[in-house]
Structure 1
Amino acid sequence: MLSPADLELIERDPALPGLRWMLDAEALAQLLAEEVSALELRQIEINYVRYKPATNCLSGFLLQTSNGRVYGYARAFRLSALGKLGKEKRAHAVPGSLGPHRIVVERLGIVISTAANDRKLDSLGRLGHKPACLLKNMLPAYPDLGHAILEPVNYKPARRFVGKLMLEGQPAAVLKIYSEGEYEKARHAAYALSSAPAVTTVIGHSTRDCMLVFRWVEGTPLNQLLTDQSAVGKSGAALRRFHSQTGIRLPLRSNESLFRQLSEAAHGIAILLPAFRERARALAQSLSASIGQTETDRATLHGDFYAHQVLVRKDGEIVLLDCDEAAIGDPRYDLGNFLAHLQRRVLTGGLTAVQGEAARDSFLAGYGEIARPRWLTECRPFIGAALLRLAHEPFRKREPDWPAGVDQLLDCAESFVDGTAATSVSGRAPSVSAADGIDPRAVIADEKMPYMAAALDFQQAGAALKSTLAATRNLHDVRLRGVRIARYKPGRRCLIEYSLEQTGTALTVIGKVHAKRLEEASYTVQTVLWNGAFNHSASDLLCVPEPLGTIPTWNMWLQRKVPGWPATKFLRRPGTVGLAQHIAELAHKLHSAGVPTTRPRHTLEEEVRILHERLPLVAQSRPQLADRLDRLLAAVDELASTIPQVRRCGIHRDFYPDQVMVDNDRLYLLDFDLYCEGDPAIDLGNFVAHLRE
C-alpha cells in the first residue's frame, strides 16, 4: 500500500503518470497480470528505486513465479518521451518469463522487462543465449567454467548484475556485469589490487561485454557476525592493512568530491520530503565545514566499506569484497562508512545499542589498537556524512514508513555535527528549528508561558529530560541532539519535539506544554491506558503513545513520538474500508476500557448548549445566514429531545481522523486533553462529521 508520502510525491509529479506503479508493488503486479496473462505470479518485491523528478523513475523488482525467481525492472517515462518508449519497443529482446519482448504500456509511459533485456547491461542477454562460448573465451585458463550455470545474486537495474557460476551444484566463481560507465573503473581497481592482501582475486574479464570474474571464496558475511567481537576486531585490522598499502595507482578521492556527494544527498532528500529541505541543506553544509577543518594522511581506500563487504572464512581469516570504488583518499571515509552502517543496523533493530557499541569498539580497537578514542573522535563528521548519504535508503528500498526512516537517519547524522557548526536561538548549539509559520523568538517571549525559554534551552532542557527519563523509564546517558517546535498557539499551548540519543539509539520525545497548568488528568488517563491494554504488546495493534514523565515547572508532560501518518491522509483515498473498521475497533476499545476521570461529565445537553453559544456568533459575522442558523438550532433541539439516555463511559471527546496515527496495521490514539465521561455516540458522531467535512 502506498504511504501518504508516496501519494504526495506522485501528486507533485504529474509529468510521470506511471510513477504510482514504480512505488506500489501491488499495482505493478496487477499491471503485469493484465499484460502477461500466462504469468503465474506468486509474489513481487520492489527492492530498488531510482527517481529523477519529471524525467523518469526506475524500479528493480524480484518476481516469485511458478517457474522460480525472476529479476527485472520497470521504468516510467514522461509521456512526451515517445522516442525513448519507441526505442525500448524496437530494441532487440531476449524471450523470457514476461514474454518475447519488453512490455511497453504507452498510456502510462511504462516499460517492463526481465533483467536479461536491460539495455545498459546488454551482455546479460548474450550470456543467457550462449553462456559456454562467452565464458570459455573470457576464461581460457578455467575451461571447466565454460560449463557453469549462472545463478543470480544481486541486480541493480542499468548499473550492475552479480551472479554465481555454479559447477555441480557448488559455487566456483563470481561474475559481475557492469554498465559501460562503471566497468572501466571496476576493472582498473580489480587489477590494481590483484596482489593486495585479503581481497578477492580477479581471474578474467571481457571489456567488450563489461564483465569481470572473481575467484569464489567460501565464508560468512560479517553482517551475520556483528556480535562476534573477534571477527569484528579482525575486520578492523584487515582494513588497517588495506589502508597501509602503498604504490597502488588508483584515482584520487578528495574531500571536495565528498562535499558534492553531501550536497547531492541533501538535494535528493528535499525532492522526496520538501519539509526537510532546509534541514538537509544545513546538515550537508555543517558536515562539510567540519570535515574541511581536519586533515590526515592519504591511504588506499576500499571506497564502500561496511559489514556486507567483509567475508569471514572458516579459519577466521578476513577477505574484503567488492573493491569497485577503491581510491586514494582519507581513511576516515571508510571508517565513517562502516560505523554509519553499524549505526543504521542499531536504528532498524538489527542490533541492540549495547551490541552496536561493542561492535564499534572492537572494530576501532582492531583498526587503531590503543588509538580507539582518537579514531572515534576524528571520525565523527565522516560518520555523519555517511549517515546523510544513507538517508535516501529507506525510500530507495521501499521501507513501509520511509519518511520516518529518513527522519531518523537525519537525526542521527545531526548528532555527529560538531557543536560549533550551528547556533541556537539561545546562543547554544545545536539549533532550535520550528514548523512553518512559527517564530522561535515569539515562543520564547510568550508572557503566558514564561518557562518556554528554559524548555527551548539546550542545556536546561537536556538536564531536565535526562533526570526525568532516568527516573521514570530508567533511561540513562541521554543526550539532547535537537529541538523542534512542532505546534504553537500563543498564550495557550506548545508542542515540542526533542531529538535524543541514548547509548547510540535515536529517540524522539514529545513535550506537551499548557499555559494554565500541568495537564495531569490527560497524562494520568494515557498512563492508565498504556499500562493496561494499549501498549506495544497489544495483540490487536490498538495503542496509545508511551507516556514518559512530567516536568511540572514547565507545565509539561512527555510522551514517546510514534511513527506513522494521520488517518486523514488515508481515509480520503478509495479502498480504505478496512482502515475505517479498524478505527471503529479503536473507539470501541477506548469506550470499553473503563478508565476513570476527574473531569466533569459531558452530556448531550452540553453539546447542544455549545451550539447555542457558538452559532449566534457565526450569525453576527454572517448576517445572511441568521435565519438559516435559527432553523438549524430549532431542529437540533427537537432532535436532541428524541435521543434516549444511554450508559455513559469514558470518551475521547475530540475523536476525529487526525487524532489517529496509522503505522501499517498499528493504530495510535492521540491527545486525551478532553477525555471525560459521556455518551460514546459523541465520539462517533464527531468522527463521521469530520469525514463529511
Structure 2
Amino acid sequence: MRLVPEIPAEHAERLGSLEVALDGERMKAVLEPHARARFGAGFVIEAIDIAVRRRHVNRYVVRYAIRGRTGARGRAQRFAVIGKVLDRGRGETLHRNMGALWEHGFGRGAADRVAIPRPIEYLPELALQIQEEVGGSSVRDLLKRGPDPRHFTAAGRALAKLHRCSVSLGPPRNVEDHLARCHPRHPVLAEASDAWAEAVGRIVAGARRVEPRFGAVVATPVHGDFHLGQVHVAGERAWLIDLDTVGMADPASDLGNLLVFLEDKARRRAAVAPLMEAFLDAYFAAGMDRGILARVPLYQALTHLRRACKSLRRGCDGWQDRIRGMLDLGVAAIETAERQWP
C-alpha cells in the first residue's frame, strides 16, 4: 500500500529528496541497515508501505511500515519508523536535540516512564530524519473516546519533565522569535483587512511591552508547539512527540499554547474544564512553580495571533469570522497580561 498524495511542484522544489523518500523501492536501501541492526545481518526488506501523515512546503512526516525476513524460511517481521523530510539544517537540529533529550532522561528505560521516540539517524543527503514510532494514542484521540483525567495527568507530568530537564537546546527564544513563527507574518494579516489591523497591532505592541516587565526569566527546554496531539499515552507510559520546534524559552509559552486549545474545547464541551485542572495539578505537583501562570496570558495572545495567521493562509470555510474571533481573544489576553504586569 502506498498512501502518497501527488507532490505539489513547490514542495518538490523545496524538499528535493521527496522523490526518494516517498519511493518504497528506493527506501529499501536507505532503511535496510537499520533493519539489519535490529534483526540481524541477513535480514532483507521485502516491502515498505508508505503513508504521508503530514505535509507542508517545508516539512513532510512519513510513516514507513516495513516487512521482511531473514532467509527464505525466516519468520516475517514487521515494524514501522517515522521519517521527517525537512528543510536542510532543520533535520540535523531536530536529530541533535532529540539525541540530547534521549541522553538526559527521556530514553526508553526512563524510570518515570516518560520518554521520546528514539532518534535513529539523520541522512543529510536526503534531509531525512528517522525516528522510532512510539506506542499508545495521543491524548487528543483519547479525549474523543471519552474524558479521562488520567490521560491529562500523564500529559502534565510529561511537560513538567521537559521543563525541568537540565539539557541546553540552543539560545533562548523571545517574543520576536514567537512572532517570526506566524505564517504568513503578522503584517500580512494586518494588511489583509482594515478590520483586523488594529487588533494585530495591539497584540504585537502589547507583547513587546509586556515581555521586558517579566525581568529575568529562566529559559527551560520547551516543546514549542505543545498541544494534546503531542503526547501519546499507554497505561503508565507517556511519550512526547513531534519535537521539531523544541528549544529553550519561557516554560509559560508551552502552557499558553496548550491552554488556548483547551479553553477553546472547554467552551464547547463542559467536561474539558476539570481535565484542564487535572493537567495543571499534575504539572505543578511535578515541581513547577505556579508563578508561571502569571506569564501565560502573553503567550496565549501570541498563540491566538499565530492561529489567525494560519487561518488566513488556509482560507477554510468561515475563515474571516474565525480570524476575527481569534484576534478578539488575542486582544483580551494581551490586555490581561498588561494589567497583570503594569
Q: Distance in 2 between matches of 1:140 and 1:190?
A: 23
Q: Distance in 2 between matches of 1:207 and 1:394?
A: 33
Q: 2:28 aligns with which of 132, 150, 154?
A: 132
Q: 2:304 aligns with which of 381, 387, 401?
A: 387
Q: 1:355 aligns with which of 268, 271, 278?
A: 271
The DSSP-based 3-state class of the residue aligned with 1:394 is helix
Deviation at 1:394, TM superposition (A): 2.8
Q: Which amino acid aligns with 1:390?
A: R
Alignment partner of 1:343 is 2:277: no
Deviation at 1:373, TM superposition (A): 6.3
Q: Distance in 2 between matches of 1:263 and 1:137?
A: 38
Q: Distance in 1 between matches of 2:320 and 2:176?
A: 29
Q: 1:173 aligns with which of 81, 95, 98?
A: 81
> Bigger shift: 319-328 or 387-396?
387-396
Q: Is the 8 A contact 1:189 1:326 kept in 2?
A: yes
Q: Is the 8 A contact 2:266 2:273 kept in 1?
A: no
Deviation at 1:346, TM superposition (A): 4.6
Residue 155 of structure 1 corresponds to 54
Q: Deviations over 1:326-352 (max 9, x none)?
A: 1122111111111122234456x4xx1
Residue 202 of structure 1 corresponds to 119
**Which residues in structure 2 correspond to 1:612-627 (within 5 Å)?**
none
Higher CA-based Rg: 1
Q: Distance in 1 between matches of 2:206 and 2:301?
A: 10
Deviation at 1:401, TM superposition (A): 0.5
Q: Distance in 2 between matches of 1:214 and 1:331?
A: 25
Q: Distance in 2 between matches of 1:355 and 1:148?
A: 44
**In 2 relative to 1, CA 136–410 (structure 1 residues): closer, same or farther, beyond 3 Å?**
same
Deviation at 1:309, TM superposition (A): 0.9
**Which residues in structure 2 correspond to 1:164-563 (within 5 Å)?**
164-168=63-67, 171-195=79-103, 196-197=105-106, 198-226=115-143, 227-261=147-181, 265-295=185-215, 296-313=217-234, 315-346=235-266, 349=268, 352=269, 354-369=270-285, 374-419=291-336, 421=338
The DSSP-based 3-state class of the residue aligned with 2:14 is helix
The DSSP-based 3-state class of the residue aligned with 2:333 is coil
**Which residues in structure 2 correspond to 1:94-105 (within 5 Å)?**
none
**In 2 relative to 1, CA 238–402 (structure 1 residues): closer, same or farther, beyond 3 Å?**
same
Q: Distance in 2 between matches of 1:386 and 1:331?
A: 14
Deviation at 1:142, TM superposition (A): 3.7
**In 2 relative to 1, CA 371–138 (structure 1 residues): closer, same or farther, beyond 3 Å?**
closer
**In 2 relative to 1, CA 421–137 (structure 1 residues): closer, same or farther, beyond 3 Å?**
same
Q: Distance in 2 between matches of 1:263 and 1:212?
A: 24
Q: Deviations over 1:120-140 (max 9, x none)?
A: 222221241512112225665
Q: Which amino acid aligns with 1:365?
A: D
Q: Which amino acid aligns with 1:160?
A: R
Deviation at 1:170, TM superposition (A): 5.5
Residue 71 of structure 2 corresponds to none
Q: Distance in 2 between matches of 1:420 and 1:332?
A: 12
Q: Is the 8 A contact 1:301 1:329 kept in 2?
A: yes
Q: Distance in 1 between matches of 2:168 and 2:214?
A: 24
User: TM-score, length-normalised on structure 2?
Assistant: 0.80
The DSSP-based 3-state class of the residue aligned with 1:253 is coil
Residue 5 of structure 2 corresponds to 71
Q: Which amino acid aligns with 2:282?
A: G
Q: Which amino acid aligns with 1:158?
A: V
> Quick one: percent identity of the two aligned structures?
20
Structure 1 consecutive aligned stretches of length 4 or more whose deviation exceeds 6 Å: 370-373
Q: Is the 8 A contact 1:263 1:281 kept in 2?
A: no
User: TM-score, length-normalised on structure 1?
Assistant: 0.41
Q: Is the 8 A contact 1:158 1:179 kept in 2?
A: no
Q: Which amino acid aligns with 2:284?
A: G
Q: Deviations over 1:382-417 (max 9, x none)?
A: 112111111123333442110111111111122212
The DSSP-based 3-state class of the residue aligned with 2:279 is helix
The DSSP-based 3-state class of the residue aligned with 1:246 is coil
Q: Which amino acid aligns with 1:178?
A: L
> Bigger shift: 140-149 or 331-340?
140-149
Q: Which has the higher helix share?
A: 2
Relative contact order, higher structure (CA 8 A, sep 6+): 2
Q: Is the 8 A contact 1:380 1:416 kept in 2?
A: yes
Residue 110 of structure 2 corresponds to none
Q: Distance in 2 between matches of 1:137 and 1:405?
A: 48
Q: Deviations over 1:478-509 (max 9, x none)?
A: xxxxxxxxxxxxxxxxxxxxxxxxxxxxxxxx
The DSSP-based 3-state class of the residue aligned with 1:166 is strand
**In 2 relative to 1, CA 175–263 (structure 1 residues): closer, same or farther, beyond 3 Å?**
closer
Q: Is the 8 A contact 2:219 2:251 kept in 1?
A: yes
Aligned residues: 311
